[in-house]
């Protein structure tokens, strides 16, 4: 008993980080005990603590060494609680107050005044105005400022700011509908170190807005998804911001081939997201392929004008390509996969809903792209066991695969089970599988950590098998989705906020 108590005390003294964002059953008493006994604590995540009040914030304020605090959706914490934290936790470097709806200019201002070491500050969806921005912009070490969905910030208020933050590297003003190029210019005045600018679903991208970027010589990433982009705006961005630009996101835009020609001037571009850009064709994509040899990630989600010709242009010249998303590009065939098989660094391939693709194209990928770690072939109805066998032989570091709606049988699934690195499988509506074949494959695949199956299998699979796999660390996710014969024509709307999966994330 004594040894156990001493051990717990010793471990408490060593604890530096704790994530309680998915916990629901602790109170202020438990939180107080944590803070009192864990003096080395530097990081706490209390996100989704919808029942936490200012009393909890007062407890947090006793964690004097705290450097990182996340309070996303702690909707009952007000300026009073934030004031306590500001006074007590002066070593804070990262603060996230996203969706803390009772926090206003007063609380945010106190954080900025008292916590001089702050590097990252997320104020998304708070009822704040430009009043709290004055002390924020005076923070000498601030590198990241997130102001997503702050309707109280507008051009008129920003015009009153005299100086931007010189140390600022990342600014996110997505969904700030009342800020145009005028307000942006005021906010970023003097921010010569800016590397990333995110304006998703914000102001129209015109030549005037592009002029705001001329002084940002270090700008590497621009995200404009959901913005109205004019050709003159795209041309101006390419002309003034292309020297170091590595990432550009223009998802869900009216951008056309002329716009892509302007983008192709950004020779160092490594990540380009063009999802739901319906007006672009192979001609525009060919400009990118010819002029952007460092391209490593390309998102073409639902780009209906893209065919095998455009993909060939990318594959031929972009040998550094690691990630490509061609989901629901319905004109893509095996020819595209054969072209991409020459991209030896390819790690992530997403061809969901490309119904013209077959096992022949997938086999070419398996043979040529030995670094493949993530594969999504959902609704590729013509892929069967013939495609699984080469994957099992050559894709030995594959970690994640989505086989839903494919024509795979027990033979193909058992072949995949031989891939020792396989961790994540989604198998929904694969009619060729039998219960015994599925059970055998699950048992044989020893590295699985997550499996998504139809709910009908939950009662059918042996309980002993499920218990064995869960004991091995595998999590089952059961889905009760009906079989979908056709693609929802409005399904692209689900793309909002969507990211290609990181191949390194397991």
3-state secondary structure of 486: coil
Q: At which residue do the structure tokens 């602790």 appear?
A: 26
Residue 328: both structure tokens together: 């629901």
Phi and psi at residue 185, in whole multiples of 5°? -60, -40
| H or E, element range at 273 | strand 271-273
Task: Report if pTM > 0.85.
Answer: yes
Q: Across-strand partners of 432?
A: none
CB 261, CB 284: distance < 8 Å = yes
Alpha helices in 341-434 (DSSP H): 359-368, 385-394, 410-416
E strands along 297-405, which residues? Answer: 297-299, 323-325, 348-350, 374-376, 400-402
**If one looks up domain 1-128 in CATH, what number appears?**
3.80.10.10
CA distance 448 to 11: 31
The residue extents of the domains of the chain are 1-128
The confidence score (pLDDT) of residue 216 equals 81
Residue 151: both structure tokens together: 């309707």
CA distance 350 to 426: 14
| H or E, element range at 374 | strand 374-376
CA distance 369 to 361: 12
- Written as tens digits, the pLDDT of the chain (506 aa) is 434 543 454 456 789 999 999 888 888 888 999 999 898 999 999 999 999 999 999 999 999 999 999 999 999 999 999 999 999 999 999 999 999 999 999 999 999 999 999 999 999 999 999 999 999 999 999 999 999 999 999 998 888 776 778 899 999 999 999 999 888 888 888 788 899 999 999 988 888 888 787 778 788 999 999 998 888 888 888 877 667 899 999 999 999 999 999 999 999 999 999 999 999 999 999 999 999 999 999 999 999 999 999 999 999 999 999 999 999 999 999 999 999 999 999 999 999 999 999 999 999 999 999 999 999 999 999 999 999 999 999 999 999 999 999 999 999 999 999 999 999 999 999 999 999 999 999 999 999 999 999 999 999 999 999 999 999 999 999 999 787 765 444 444 444 333 333 433 43
The confidence score (pLDDT) of residue 187 equals 83
The confidence score (pLDDT) of residue 12 equals 63
β-pairing verdict for 424-427 and 247-249: unpaired
Question: CA distances (Å), 477 to each of 368, 375, 407, 435, 443, in order?
Answer: 32, 19, 22, 17, 17
The confidence score (pLDDT) of residue 208 equals 84
CB atoms within 10 A of CB 163: 12
Which letter does DSSP use for residue 482 in this model? Answer: P
Q: At which residue do the structure tokens 């996203």 appear?
A: 98
Contacts of 33 (CB under 8 A, 6+ apart): none
3-state secondary structure of 469: helix
CA distance 96 to 47: 9
Phi and psi at residue 149, in whole multiples of 5°? 60, 45
């Amino acid at each position: 008993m004594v040894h156990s108590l001493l051990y717990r005390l010793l471990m408490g003294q060593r604890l530096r980080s704790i994530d309680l964002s998915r916990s629901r059953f602790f109170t202020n008493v438990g939180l107080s005990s944590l803070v009192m006994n864990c003096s080395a604590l530097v990081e706490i995540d209390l996100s989704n603590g919808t029942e936490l009040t200012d009393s909890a914030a007062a407890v947090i304020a006793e964690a004097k060494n705290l450097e990182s605090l996340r309070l996303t959706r702690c909707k009952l914490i007000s300026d009073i609680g934030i004031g306590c934290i500001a006074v007590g936790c002066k070593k804070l470097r990262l603060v996230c107050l996203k969706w803390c709806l009772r926090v206003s200019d007063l609380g945010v201002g106190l954080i900025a005044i008292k916590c001089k070491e702050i590097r990252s500050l997320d104020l998304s969806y708070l009822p704040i105005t430009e009043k709290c921005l004055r002390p924020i912009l005076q923070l000498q070490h601030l590198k990241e400022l997130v102001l997503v969905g702050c309707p109280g910030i507008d051009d008129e208020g920003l015009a009153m700011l005299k100086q931007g933050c010189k140390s600022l590297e990342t600014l996110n003003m997505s969904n700030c509908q009342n800020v145009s190029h005028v307000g942006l210019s005021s906010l970023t005045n003097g921010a010569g170190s800016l590397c990333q600018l995110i304006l998703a679903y914000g102001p129209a991208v015109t030549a005037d807005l592009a002029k705001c970027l001329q002084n940002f010589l270090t700008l590497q990433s621009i995200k404009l998804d959901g913005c109205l982009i004019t050709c003159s705006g795209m041309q101006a961005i390419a002309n003034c911001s292309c020297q170091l630009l590595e990432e550009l996101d223009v998802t869900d835009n009216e951008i056309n081939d002329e716009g892509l020609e302007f983008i192709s001037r950004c020779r160092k571009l490594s990540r380009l997201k063009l999802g739901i850009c319906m007006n672009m064709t192979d001609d525009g994509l060919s400009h990118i392929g010819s002029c952007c040899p460092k391209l490593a990630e390309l998102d073409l989600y639902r780009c209906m004008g893209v065919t095998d010709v455009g993909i060939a242009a990318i594959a031929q010249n972009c040998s550094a390509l690691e990630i490509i998303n061609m989901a629901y590009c319905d004109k893509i065939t095996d020819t595209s996969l054969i072209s991409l098989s020459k991209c030896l660094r390819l790690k992530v391939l997403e061809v969901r809903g490309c119904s013209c693709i077959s096992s022949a194209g997938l086999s070419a990928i398996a043979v040529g792209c030995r670094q493949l770690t993530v594969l999504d072939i959902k609704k590729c109805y013509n892929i069967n066991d013939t495609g699984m066998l080469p994957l099992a032989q050559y894709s030995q570091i594959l970690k994640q695969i989505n086989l839903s709606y494919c024509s795979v049988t027990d033979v193909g699934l058992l072949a995949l089970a031989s891939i020792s690195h396989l961790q994540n499988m989604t198998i929904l509506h694969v009619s060729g599988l039998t219960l015994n074949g599925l059970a055998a494959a699950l048992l044989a695949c020893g590295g699985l950590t997550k499996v998504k199956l139809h709910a009908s299998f939950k009662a059918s699979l042996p309980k002993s098998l499920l218990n064995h796999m869960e004991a091995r660390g595998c999590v089952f996710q059961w889905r009760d989705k009906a079989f979908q014969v056709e693609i929802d024509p409005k399904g692209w709307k689900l793309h909002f906020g969507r990211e290609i999966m990181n191949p390194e994330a397991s």
